[in-house]
Structure 1
Amino acid sequence: MIPALAPLFQGPFAQYREVLTLLDDPRPALSGREFVSPERLEQQMLRFAPEHAEGDRRALLSLWSKYYFLRLIPPVLAAGLILNWRLPLDFDEIQVVVGADGLPEAFKLPHGGERWNCPPQDGFERFGDLLDANLLPFIEGLRAHRKIAARVLWSNAGNYFEWFMATLGGLPFPKPMLAPGLQVLEARLRPDGARNPLFDPIRYVPQGEGCAPWRQRRQCCIRNELGMTMCDNCSLLDAPPVEASGAPD
């Protein structure tokens, strides 16, 4: 646990209390690059889903990648938006604690980070350490192993980014506090003019009077290529199968 973040990870965020930690954490860990090395990826994916050992490796890689995004993105957003805390997330400097199931349990950071003296209002600057120094090399590492479309992996990341921003939006935080995170989802282009791969990953489909809109992804995660049922929010569905709760697939 990072001491400065302890007050944040209580109540609804308690599950993230031990996700961001420091190098003195005694749990064995892999460097970021080793974590996505071909040999390690194969081992981790097969520990995660041995029943799909003969299945489409791209689909398995996509399914496995979701847990990285789900584990890392929410606590980083919470720290960055609520505490204005900048975390050292460079993929070449972090270490990943891997569970017996082949999934990331925690991330050891080289130090505890620091509070922004003047928090950037631009979301791409505020979360550059997450987007450019971590998610980009992580996704490139996966794509070097299997030729999966980058848009599939970025959509997986965007799915959890949007979900957690919606979670924060449902809590009593001032809207300006959340604006930098929302900008990352709402800007088609980044400040330098490059395409934003996290732009608009989710749409909310009206379901008639008295019904909540259906939260639907714009890009399929291709897990159906493993013979699995589609996610409840799959882009290939014409209507929601059943109401889901908790974190999205």
Structure 2
Amino acid sequence: MIPALAPLFIADFEHYRDVLVLPDDPRVGVPLRTFLGGDYLNDVLTRFGTAYPESDPRGLASIWSKYYFVKLIPPVVAASLILDQRLPLHLDHLQLILDDDCLPVAFKLPDAGQQWTPGPADAFERFDELLEHHLRPFIDALARHVRLSPKVLWSNAGNYFEWLLGVLANAIPHADVSHGHQLLNARHLPNGRRNPLYQPVRYLKIDGQSEPKRQRRVCCIRYRVTALELCDNCPLSKSKPPVKIHPR
């Protein structure tokens, strides 16, 4: 665990205690650039896919990416928004720790980072390293490897980002998560490029229901994986019963 982040890891968030770690963590990690190089990634997805025989590799990669994003995004975004901690997230400097099932369990950071001084001017400055130097190269490499639309993977990441903002707002009502919402509600980045995290989730009013339905804008193509049903927030789902699939 990174000591500066200790205040985050309480109650329901305690299971993230050993997800962001320093180089002295005894677990074996692989540099992320090495992991994404081809053979290593192919081996991981093949071993992960043994639980879902005859599945489309694109669907397997999408489902695997969910485990990656749900490990990375919550502690990183919470550390930034709640503790104002600026973490070193550049893909070239991180190592990925996998469990025996080839699922992501932790990330080795080169150091503990530092607090924002002064604070970031806006969401784009706050999340630039996460967005441009980690998520973008990671998603581009994984999408190329399995010939999958990057939109699917960005949607997976955005789904957890948006979900976390709701969790933080409920758990810490006084917390300022406005930069998180600013990022997700911006159509374009400051450089004019399309924001790949723009509104990944929408809330629909359903007749007869008091609460709006939370629905992803882009399907995670879970239906391409053998024996898995659609997600409860899938945009393709109309009459199918909800199935909760958030990996933990």
Length-normalised TM-score, structure 1: 0.93
Are 1:102 and 2:97 an aligned pair?
Answer: no
Q: Per-residue displacement from partner, 1:2-47 (whole Å, max 9, x unpaired)? A: 0111122112211111000000111001001122232222221233
Q: Displacement of 1:174 after TM fit?
A: 2.8
- How far apart, in 1, do the equivalents of 2:231 and 2:102 lie? 21
- Give distance in 2, aligned partners of 1:214 and 1:66: 21
Q: Which runs of 5+ in 2 are unaligned?
A: none
Where do 1:126-145 residues align within 5 Å? 126-145=126-145
Write the distance in 2 (CA, Å) between the matches of 1:119 and 1:73: 20
Tell me: CA distance 1:240–1:233, structure 2 relative to 1, closer, same or farther (3 Å): farther
Q: Distance in 2 between matches of 1:240 and 1:119?
A: 46
1:25 correspondence with 2:36: no
Are the equivalent residues in 2 in contact too, given 1:56–1:226 (CA < 8 A)? yes
Q: Where in structure 2 are the equivalents of 1:147-226 lying within 5 Å?
A: 147-174=147-174, 177-209=176-208, 211-226=210-225
Instruction: Give the SS at the match of 2:15.
Output: helix
Q: How does 1:230-249 map to 2 (within 5 A)?
A: 230-238=230-238, 241-242=241-242, 244=244, 247=246
CA contact (8 A) 1:97 1:105 kept: yes
Identity %: 48
> Contact 1:233–1:240 (CA<8 Å) still a contact in 2?
no
Q: Is the 8 A contact 2:230 2:243 kept in 1?
A: no
**8 Å contact kept, 2:93–2:109:** yes
Alignment RMSD = 1.8
Could you report, residue by residue, the CA deviation over 1:51-97 in whole angstroms, capped at 9, with x for unpaired residues? Answer: 33432111111111111111000001110000000000110000011
State the alpha-carbon separation in 1 of the partners of residues 59 and 203 from structure 2. Answer: 25
Confirm or deny: 8 A CA contact 1:163 1:248 kept in the other structure.
no
> 1:12 and 1:226, CA in 2 relative to 1: closer, same or farther beyond 3 A?
closer
- In the alignment, what sits opposite 2:57? 57
Contact 1:47 1:100 in 2 (8 A): no
**Per-residue CA shift, 1:199-224, capped at 9, x if unaligned?**
01111111235532111111011120
1:203 counterpart SS class: strand
Query: What do residues 99-151 of structure 1 show as CA deviations (whole Å, max 9, x unaligned)?
Result: 11111110000000000011114111101111111111111111231210010
SS of residue in 1 equivalent to 2:75:
helix
AA of the residue aligned to 1:182 = H
Maintained 8 Å contact 2:19/2:107: yes
Give the conservation status (yes or no) of the 8 Å contact 1:85–1:115.
yes
Cα distance in 2 for partners of 1:242, 1:64 equals 21
Report the alpha carbon displacement of residue 170 of structure 1 after superposing the two structures with TM: 1.5
Q: Distance in 1 between matches of 2:107 and 2:225?
A: 29
Aligned residues: 247
Aligned counterparts of 2:217 and 2:239: Cα–Cα separation in 1: 13
Counterpart amino acid of 1:119?
Answer: G
